[in-house]
């Protein structure tokens, strides 16, 4: 009888211990601190572990008190990220190939709130503006491939750090492999749930993952392989990712380092948002009409680019002179042959040449003014369905005082 009671007691204690360890792991996960340890392994030492339950209960209460003490309210923010602004080429992949992968770097959030750290997702939703029938579903699978969290506000050697460059930086925690997905139905601020309840007893999709992340978007069909489609993917004008996330204040030093890092990336044309995608068909309809007129094969394309075509931060007068490097241009031609859509990149010098009018050439190297693109082989445009222009630019190395 004594042996039976001992075995039963041991099993009950082990069950309680396992549940307590899971609670401890949840505490570490929600507070973002894996060093919080309260549950020990020596409760059954001495006198056959008769007081093991009381010792475990005491540590559980200590853990509960620590949660109440450290579970402080963080900043709660919302960020809307447009693929047309962030990753225009990936948006073209989605429209003409049915899938794409998008990286969301830290500077996207530093543009809004420099100096914040420990940014973690609470909820993600998707909006896909497009033209569909009245009862057509917009089913897009959004998958989180990788996420990173800046867990410390420290500046190692006065360096801000970049998780995409230095994967061994101890200030960042990166999570791979545990892919999470949602599938949209309406495509209008769609979180993949029947009802988004921020007080849900279960974790929401992607909750507590880092906002510095890599995502895959996938539609059911592939237009380039002539697969069955529920609607015309070419009508997708943009994809917007809506992030609800929390963050912590990192202080003045981190804020200065974030601004300095962001400024340097813009100078080197490495920051997000320093590229603009133009649809010749929709944004320059008169030029498109000339290009596609029957019986005509134009060898050149003339476009007038103005400041209003670009983001507001670029139009700052401090960013409009002495550009460190001139703009880069890429043309993407969409053709259709034998019911198959082809997606081709045209490059400068090989497929076309670029000229800027003398006036703009003297005043600035920035992507405004009258631009002429001359095609090496105009016959490639015969079967053209769409033409896209991608412009990349940088900011000046020195700003006026």
Q: Is the distance from CB of 118 to CB of 32 less than 8 angstroms?
A: yes
Angle (CA) 136-100-332 rounded to 5° is 100
Residue 164 binned pLDDT confidence (cut-offs 50, 70, 90): low
| Domain coordinates in residue numbering, the chain | 2-70, 75-268, 277-392
* H or E, element range at 392: strand 384-392
* pLDDT for residue 401: 41
Among residues 312, 314, 273, 262, which one has the least CA distance to residue 82?
A: 273
Higher pLDDT, 396 or 178: 178
| Percent of the chain surpassing pLDDT 70 | 80
Q: 3-state DSSP call for residue 83? A: helix
pTM for this one? 0.84
By C-alpha distance, which of 30, 27, 115 is closest to 77?
115
Model pLDDT, residue 322 = 42
151 pLDDT above the threshold of 70: yes
The separation between CA 123 and the C-alpha centre of its own chain, rounded to angstroms, equals 14
C-alpha to C-alpha distance for 303 and 371, rounded to whole angstroms: 5
Distance of CA 163 to the CA centre of its chain: 14
Contact between 38 and 24 (Cβ < 8 Å): yes
The secondary structure element, H or E, covering residue 143 is strand 141-150
Residue 335 has pLDDT above 80, yes or no: no
Distance (Å, rounded) from C-alpha 353 to C-alpha 305? 17
Q: Answer for the pair 234, 130: CB distance below 8 angstroms, yes or no.
A: no
With a cut of 70, say whether residue 337 has pLDDT above it.
no
Average pLDDT over residues 274-288: 84
* pLDDT tens digit sequence for 6-61: 788 888 888 999 999 999 999 998 898 888 999 888 777 666 667 888 888 999 99
**Average pLDDT, integer, range 127-146:** 92
Q: Is 50 exceeded by the pLDDT of residue 182? A: yes
pLDDT band at 323 (very low <50, low <70, confident <90, very high): very low
Sequential DSSP letters for 56-75: HHHHHHHHHHHHHHH-PPPE
Instruction: Say which residue, 333 or 398, is predicted with more confidence.
Output: 333
């Amino acid at each position: 009888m004594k042996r039976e009671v001992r075995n039963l007691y041991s099993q009950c204690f082990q069950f309680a211990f396992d549940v307590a360890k899971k609670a401890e792991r949840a505490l570490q996960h929600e507070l973002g601190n894996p060093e919080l340890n309260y549950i020990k392994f020596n409760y059954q030492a001495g006198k056959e572990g008769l007081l093991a339950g009381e010792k475990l209960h005491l540590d559980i209460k200590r853990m509960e008190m620590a949660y109440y003490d450290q579970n402080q309210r963080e900043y709660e923010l919302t960020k809307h990220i447009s693929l047309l602004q962030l990753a225009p080429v990936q948006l073209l992949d989605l429209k003409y190939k049915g899938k794409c992968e998008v990286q969301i770097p830290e500077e996207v959030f530093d543009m809004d709130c420099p100096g914040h750290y420990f940014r973690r997702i609470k909820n993600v939703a998707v909006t896909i503006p497009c033209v569909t029938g009245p009862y057509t579903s917009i089913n897009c699978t959004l998958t989180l491939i990788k996420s990173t969290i800046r867990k410390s506000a420290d500046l190692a050697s006065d360096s801000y750090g970049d998780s995409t460059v230095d994967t061994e930086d101890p200030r960042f925690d990166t999570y791979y492999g545990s892919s999470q997905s949602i599938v949209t139905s309406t495509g209008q601020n769609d979180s993949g749930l029947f009802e988004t309840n921020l007080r849900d007893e279960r974790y929401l999709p992607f909750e507590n993952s880092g906002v510095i992340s890599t995502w895959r978007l996938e539609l059911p069909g592939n237009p380039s392989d002539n697969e069955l489609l529920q609607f015309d993917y070419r009508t997708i004008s943009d994809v917007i990712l809506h992030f609800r996330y929390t963050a912590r204040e990192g202080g003045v030093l981190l804020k200065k380092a974030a601004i300095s890092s962001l400024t340097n990336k813009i100078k080197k044309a490495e920051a997000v948002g320093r590229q603009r995608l133009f649809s010749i068909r929709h944004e320059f309809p008169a030029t498109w009409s000339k290009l596609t007129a029957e019986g005509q094969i134009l060898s050149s394309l003339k476009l007038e680019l103005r400041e209003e075509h670009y983001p507001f931060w670029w139009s700052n007068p401090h960013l409009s002179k002495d550009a460190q490097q001139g703009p880069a241009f890429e043309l993407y031609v969409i053709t259709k042959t034998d019911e198959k859509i082809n997606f081709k990149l045209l490059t400068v010098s090989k497929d076309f040449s670029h000229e800027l009018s003398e006036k703009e050439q003297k005043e600035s190297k920035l992507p405004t003014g009258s631009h002429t693109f001359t095609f090496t082989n105009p016959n490639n445009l015969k079967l053209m369905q769409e033409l896209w222009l991608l412009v990349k630019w940088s900011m000046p190395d020195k700003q006026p005082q």
